[in-house]
Amino acid sequence: MIILFNTLGRQKQKLKPLKDRLVRMYSCGPTVYDYAHLGHFRAYVFVDTLKRVLKYNKYKVKHVMNITDVGHLTSDADTGEDKMEKSARREGKTVWEIAEFYTKDFFDAMEKLNVEKADIVCKATEHIKEMAEMVQKIIDNGYAYVISDGIYFDTSKLKDYGKLAGFNPEELKAGARVEFNEEKKNPTDFALWKFTAKDQKRQMEWENEFFFKPEQIDLGKVTAYARENPNIRVEKAKRGFKLVVKGFPGWHIECSAMSIKYLGKVFDIHTGGVDHIPVHHTNEIAQSQAALKKESVKFWLHNEFVLVNNQKMSKSLQNFYTMHDILARGFDPLSLRYLFLTAHYRSKINFTWESLAAAENAYKSLKEKIASLKNKGKVGKKVKEYKKKFLEYINDDLNTPQALSLLWQMLKDDELSDKEKLVLALDFDRVFGLRLKDARKKIPKEIIKLAEERLKARKEKDWKRADELREEIRRRGYKIEDTEDGYRIFKA
Ligand code: AMP
Ligand code: ZN
């Protein structure tokens, strides 16, 4: 029995998958306009741990994650620039190049953190049709209206809008004044589709048609917008009007459209960081309710922030560290994974390099301990007791800190044989994902000799020789990875 904390309702609940032993889950993926940082890594290590716990409990998991490569604006209030277009301008590249570069960098980092890739990774730009169809349903069901810069969702039409965040829309109105767009009917209304502004040059834009019944559109106003902006056209259609627009989807619609496409109208789990609760996920819920007349998600799970000096690590505050920083300082990425596991996913982590160094020390001693165990001895019934305890911890809303201390307690237990310790440690590692098995692998002396020779060649800038040696190492079944202070070797 797995218990998870559901943000919707703010309580722990028993997980009961909709389809027998299959758990269908969706995770909000990264916006690929810059390097991912430690905050993002925490979000995905959390998702990975969740998947591992489900699989440890013999569930099958179907996991979908999106890549946001269009439509995420610099402000959550649907104003400001598209982050991708802004980044492309800054770096003098195309938006597509930006997306490709940072997506690859993101997945490289995920691999280093031993985060398993989602079964389906879907890009927003490849699902424009599905998003437009969902927006059309929302219009048809009477939840949308048009203003000069886009098609918006009328949040006042939903009785329980905002329930995920537990806020009262009246209170929010007061707080949202600063960014309130006067044309919107309610401060919490959000863009379903944005029109390219009249003088704007966008790299990513699409032409789409949306149909409105006469009572769903203020023809006078929309005709005036069309006169002002060549990217908007309004035509008479069979049972009303057709709006032909050049533009791009709002950020929230991609997750609604893609999760439903790949997981069905109702699925089990949706994840993201806590910053997504008040806007992004609140609006996803609203969209599904409006388009499908039902709730799509059973469990909403949110990880807490990584902080730096008690402020959220974020690109906008410029207080972030990337995988490149971790490697440049000579840390093993899995030490970061260890650090994340020492805290519960719903508590904040204030990141310092000292805390990472401490985690690295602990992780190193853990590996040394595992390496020193002899594969000998009996396997008795105490193993079962430990497994039971372990399951109890991880199934209680992923209590990884307790599960980790159980691992240490177990390794120090004199009543267990080495064999039992090894069996248990490797079994627990199916959830921790710390590659503890690798600690048992001895790298042969001749491979280390080749690696040392290669390091020397690199220092002497003899790249040809370094490449030859890498190839030789590969031929012998090992992979060498450069770190800023040397190298690491793995069994390939
Ligand atoms: P974004 O690319 O901003 O949409 O973020 C991708 C994921 O990382 C989302 O689930 C965010 O909630 C999460 N995230 C972003 N910053 C942090 C942070 N400082 N700590 C934890 N999670 C974060
Ligand atoms: Zn999302």
Read off the pLDDT of each residue in 406-433 and give the average, rounded to a whole number: 97
Q: What is the predicted pLDDT for the residue at 76?
A: 76
Measured in angstroms, how far is the CA atom of residue 70 from the centroid of ligand 1? 17
Dihedral Cα 101, 103, 109, 110, nearest 10 deg: -160
**pLDDT tens column, 278-288:** 999 999 999 99
pTM: 0.90
| Ligand 1 pocket, residue 248 CB under 6 Å | no
- 485 backbone dihedrals φ, ψ, rounded to 5°: -110, 15
**pLDDT tens column, 245-263:** 999 999 999 999 999 999 9
Is pLDDT above 60 for 175?
A: no
Token look-up 């925490």 returns: 42
Q: What is the predicted pLDDT for the residue at 481?
A: 80
Task: Round the CA-based radius of gyration of the chain to a whole number and report it.
Answer: 26
Task: Among 72, 123, 275, say which to mutate for ligand 1: greatest number of ligand atoms within 8 Å of CB.
Answer: 275
- Among all bound ligands, the one having the nearest atom to the CA of 250 is 2
**pLDDT tens column, 46-84:** 999 999 999 999 999 999 999 999 989 888 778 888 999
Q: What is the predicted pLDDT for the residue at 314?
A: 92
At 491, the amino acid letter reads K
Q: What is the predicted pLDDT for the residue at 377?
A: 83
**pLDDT tens column, 112-169:** 999 999 999 999 999 999 999 999 999 999 999 999 999 999 999 999 999 999 866 5
- Ligand 1 atom nearest the C-alpha of 313 is 19
**pLDDT tens column, 481-492:** 887 768 877 666
Q: What is the predicted pLDDT for the residue at 450?
A: 94
Contact 456, 475 (CB under 8 A): no
Nearest CA owner, ligand 1 atom 23: 39
Return mean pLDDT, the chain: 94
Instruction: Specify the DSSP element, H or E, that contains 338.
Output: helix 333-341
Token pair in block for residue 101: 């570069």
Read off the pLDDT of each residue in 419-427 and give the average, rounded to a whole number: 97
**pLDDT tens column, 390-401:** 999 999 999 999
- Ligand 1 atom nearest the C-alpha of 274 is 12
Number of Cβ atoms within 10 Å of the Cβ of 253: 27
Report the alpha-carbon distance of residue 270 to residue 23 in Å, rounded: 11
Q: Report residue 305's pLDDT band, with 50, 70 and 90 as the boundaries.
A: very high
Q: What is the predicted pLDDT for the residue at 251?
A: 93
- Ligand 1 atom nearest the C-alpha of 36 is 2
Token pair in block for residue 427: 């079994």
Measured in angstroms, how far is the CA atom of residue 445 from the centroid of ligand 1? 42
**pLDDT tens column, 76-113:** 778 888 999 999 999 999 999 999 999 999 999 999 99
Q: What is the predicted pLDDT for the residue at 166?
A: 86
Is pLDDT above 70 for 35?
A: yes
Token pair in block for residue 220: 């006078």
Token pair in block for residue 7: 């943000």
Q: Report residue 172's pLDDT band, with 50, 70 and 90 as the boundaries.
A: low
| Ligand 1 pocket, residue 281 CB under 6 Å | no
Contact 386, 406 (CB under 8 A): yes
Measured in angstroms, how far is the CA atom of residue 272 from the centroid of ligand 1? 7
- Among all bound ligands, the one having the nearest atom to the CA of 340 is 1
The CA-atom distances, in angstroms, between 121 and each of 64, 116, 211, 461 are 6, 12, 31, 39
Number of Cβ atoms within 10 Å of the Cβ of 357: 14
| Ligand 1 pocket, residue 71 CB under 6 Å | no
- pLDDT > 90 in the chain, percent: 85
Q: What is the predicted pLDDT for the residue at 174?
A: 52
| Ligand 1 pocket, residue 44 CB under 6 Å | no
